Amino acid sequence: MAKNAQLFIKAAVRCLSWVDNIYLYDDNSSDDTVKEAYNAAHVPLIVEEGQEELPAFERGEMRVRNYVIEQAFKRLYCDVLILVDSDELMSKNLKPVILEAFSDPKIDSLCFSTWHLYDRQRYVHFWETHMNGLYLID
C-alpha cells in the first residue's frame, strides 16, 4: 500500500527487481507516487488506484491490507507474496532465504523484522534478522 509516497516509492520498487511482479495499491495519492513507481519498475507492475476518500488507516488498516493481499494473489497468480510497504526496502539476498525456507513443507510463512531509521532530512530503512545463530543486517 502507498499513499503520497513519491519520495520513497522509487527506492522501494527498484529494490524489488528480483521479484517476478509487483502489485501496488495506491491509496488515493495526491502526488506522483504511481508515476514514480512505473518509472522505477524493472518488472511488471500492476497498480490498483483506490477510490476511497478516507485513507486506509481510517477505514481499517487490517481490512484494507487483507483486501490488498487477496487482490495481489489473484492478479499476480503467485505462490509466494512478499508484503512491502512503500517506505521499505528488501534486499535481493532474501530470495535464496525465501526459496530455502519454502522448500520445507512445514513452513507456510516467513516474517522479517524491519528497522526504520530517519531524521528530518534523511530516511534509511533496512531489514534485520537472526538466522542460523547469526545476527544479520542488510
Q: Give CA–CA dist 138/73, Å, rounded.
A: 27
Q: Kindly tell me if the per-residue pLDDT of 106 is higher than 80.
A: yes
d(CA 50, CA 98): 30
Location of C-alpha cell 530517519: 118
pTM greater than 0.85: no
Q: Is the pLDDT of residue 113 over 70?
A: no
Q: What is the mean pLDDT of the chain?
A: 85
How far apart CA 119 and CA 121 sit, in angstroms, is 6
Q: Which residue has the higher pLDDT, 138 or 28?
A: 28
Identify which has the larger pLDDT, 111 or 104: 104
Q: What is the pLDDT of residue 120?
A: 55
Pairing state of beta strands 123-131 and 22-26?
A: unpaired
Q: Please name the residues in contact with 76: beta carbons below 8 A apart, sequence gap of 6 or more.
A: 20, 21, 23, 46
pLDDT at 68: 94
Residue 129 to residue 138: CA distance in whole angstroms? 9
In this predicted structure, the answer to whether residue 52 has a pLDDT above a threshold of 70 is yes
Span 54-104, pLDDT tens digits: 888 888 888 999 999 999 999 999 988 998 888 888 888 889 989 999 999
Grid coordinates given for 44: 511488471
With beta carbons less than 8 A apart as the criterion, state whether 60 and 33 touch.
no
pLDDT of residue 46: 97
CA distance 96 to 33: 30
Position 117 pLDDT exceeds 60: no
Residue 33 has a pLDDT of 95
Mean pLDDT of 4-25: 93
